[in-house]
Chains A and B, each alone.
Chain A
Amino acid sequence: MDQSGAEEAAMHRHPPQHSSIPSGENSVWSDVSHRLEAACRELRDGELIHGDNFNLFAAMSALEIMDPKMDSGIVCKYYSIDEAVENGVAPVPISSDKTIDVQCTIDIMDHLLACEATWHNGHSLAQTVFSCIYLLRPDRTSSHAILHSYCRVKRATCKAVVSVVSDARTHEEEDLFTMAYGLPLHGDGDEKCLSMLNAVEETIYRQLRACNATSSKKRVSEDIEPLQHNLDLEEDFCKALLCRIRFRKHFFHVLTCMRRPQGRGLELARKHIASCMSELECILNSAEFLRLGAYGTCEDGVEDRTTASGRAAIGFDASLNSRSSAPTPPRAIKILSWEKAVQYFLKLLHDLDIVCSYSLDPSLEGVLRFVVQFQKSKPDLIARAHLQLLLIQDGKLYGRDPIFAVITKAAALPEVTKNHDIQKNEYIVQLGQLVINLLKILCTNAAWQRRKLGKILQDWRVIYVQLEIAFRNEVGSVSSISDDENICVRIFKHILNWVEEQTYWIASRYLMLGFELDLYSPSEYCMVYWYMYVVLIKLAEKTHLRIAVSSGTVKKKGKKKKDSSKEVAKESRIPLPVLFLQCHLCLAQGLSMMLAALRNELMVLQSPSPFNTEHERFIQHFELLQKACVPDNISYLSFKESTTYTRFSTLVMYNYFKNAQRIAKEIKSSFSDDPDRLAEVRRLEQVAEHNGVALNVICRVGALDPSLKVSFEFTHHPYFATAVVKRS
Chain B
Amino acid sequence: MEPNKEEEQQQQEAAQKAEFDPSEIEYVIYGGEHHLPLIMNLVDQELSEPYSIFTYRYFVYLWPNLSFLAFHRGKCVGTVVCKMGEHRTTYRGYIAMLVVINSYRGRGIATELVTRSIKVMMESGCEEVTLEAEVTNKGALALYGRLGFIRAKRLFRYYLNGVDAFRLKLLFPIPEIHPALSMIAESDEIQRHDQISQQEC
Interface residues of A (CB under 8 A from B): 46-48, 50, 54, 56, 58-60, 62-64, 67, 69-70, 121-123, 173-174, 329, 331, 445-448, 450-451, 455, 517-521, 524, 607, 609-613, 615-617, 619-621, 623-624, 626-627
Contacts and interface: CB of A to CB of B under 8 A. Distances in A.
A623 B148 contact: no
B75 to A, nearest CB: 23
Contacts of A607: 145-146, 148
B170 A455 contact: no
B contacts with A: majority SS: mixed
B153 A519 contact: yes
Shortest Cβ-Cβ A-B pairs, 7 listed: A609-B148, A69-B50, A59-B58, A62-B54, A447-B154, A616-B171, A447-B156
A623 B173 contact: no
B14 interface: no
Given A445-B156, A616-B172, A70 B147 contact: no
A59 B55 contact: yes
B185 interface: no
A620 B160 contact: no
B8 interface: no
A507 to B, nearest CB: 14
Nearest to A451: B153
B172 A329 contact: no
29 contacts: A46-B53, A47-B57, A50-B62, A58-B54, A59-B55, A59-B57, A67-B50, A67-B52, A70-B52, A174-B156, A331-B50, A446-B154, A448-B156, A450-B154, A518-B154, A519-B150, A611-B118, A611-B147, A611-B170, A612-B148, A612-B171, A615-B173, A617-B148, A619-B171, A620-B152, A620-B169, A620-B196, A623-B197, A627-B193
Contact of A616 (B57, B153, B173, B197): B173
Contacts of B53: 46, 64
Given A121-B162, A610-B115, A623 B52 contact: no
Interface residues of B, number: 41
Given A50-B58, A623-B196, 10 more contacts: A59-B58, A62-B52, A70-B52, A174-B157, A517-B154, A519-B166, A609-B146, A617-B150, A623-B197, A624-B197
B130 to A, nearest CB: 11
Nearest to B174: A616
B112 to A, nearest CB: 12
B39 to A, nearest CB: 13
Contacts of B155: 173, 447
Given A50-B61, A611-B118, A612-B170, A173 B156 contact: yes
B193 A519 contact: no
Contacts of B164: 447
B42 interface: no
Contacts of B135: 518
Contacts of B118: 611
Interface string B170-201: 11110000000000000000000110110010
